[in-house]
Amino acid sequence: MVRWYQAGVFYPFFRAHAHIDTKRREPWLFGEPYTSYFRNALRLRYQLLPAIYTAFHTSSVTGLPILRYTLVSRYLIDVSPQVMQFPDDKEGFSIENQAYLGDTGILVHPVVKKDVEVAEFYIAGLQVPPSVGVTLLIAALL
């Protein structure tokens, strides 16, 4: 649940509700250390609100998606998010598990699987070792 909150921080619409017949999942019900993880994610979301609002405005003017994933862009403008940000970087053309938040330069690579401790991500022109990626993720969200 924590990882979904952490991923949701970067999405245009961030809601933490469920159907009435599902198990309750308010952040405070999980106890520590999880409550702090939720709190840190929500604080990051509030810090990002100016960037998210700017991305919404840019999207309303240009029609470009707010979160530029390949899946979205494949159907709308036929290019991957890497292509949109770095059109000359052919190695990034097939990247589908990360996205950029509007024009902010913030690269989002959600890690939502349980017990995953290492995540590789791609930065145009640079392949980041897994250990660096995990350090960046922890620094950003926990």
CA pair distance 53, 3, nearest whole angstrom = 23
- For the chain, give the number of residues: 142
Percent pLDDT > 90 in the chain is 20
Using CA atoms, how far apart are residues 97 and 47, in angstroms rounded to an integer? 24
**Could you give all domains of the chain from N- to C-terminal order, each with its CATH number?**
2-141 (3.20.20.80)
How many other C-beta atoms can be found within 10 angstroms of the C-beta atom of residue 105?
9
Residue from 33, 16, 32 nearest 24 by CA: 16
Question: Which tokens go with 105?
Answer: 């330069």
More confident residue, 141 or 50: 50
Q: Among 25-39, 83-97, 105-119, where is mean pLDDT lowest?
A: 83-97
What share of the chain has pLDDT > 70, as a percent? 75
Residue with tokens 């939502």: 112
Q: Is 79 a residue whose pLDDT tops 60? A: no
Greatest CA separation for the chain: 49
Is the pLDDT confidence value at 77 over 50? no
* 26: enclosing H helix or E strand: none
At 40, the pLDDT band (50, 70, 90 cuts) reads very high
Asked if 6 contacts 41 with a C-beta cutoff of 8 angstroms, the reply is yes
Element (H, E) at 100: strand 99-100
Of residues 18 and 128, more confidently modeled: 18
The rounded distance, in Å, linking the Cα atoms of 35 and 129 is: 30
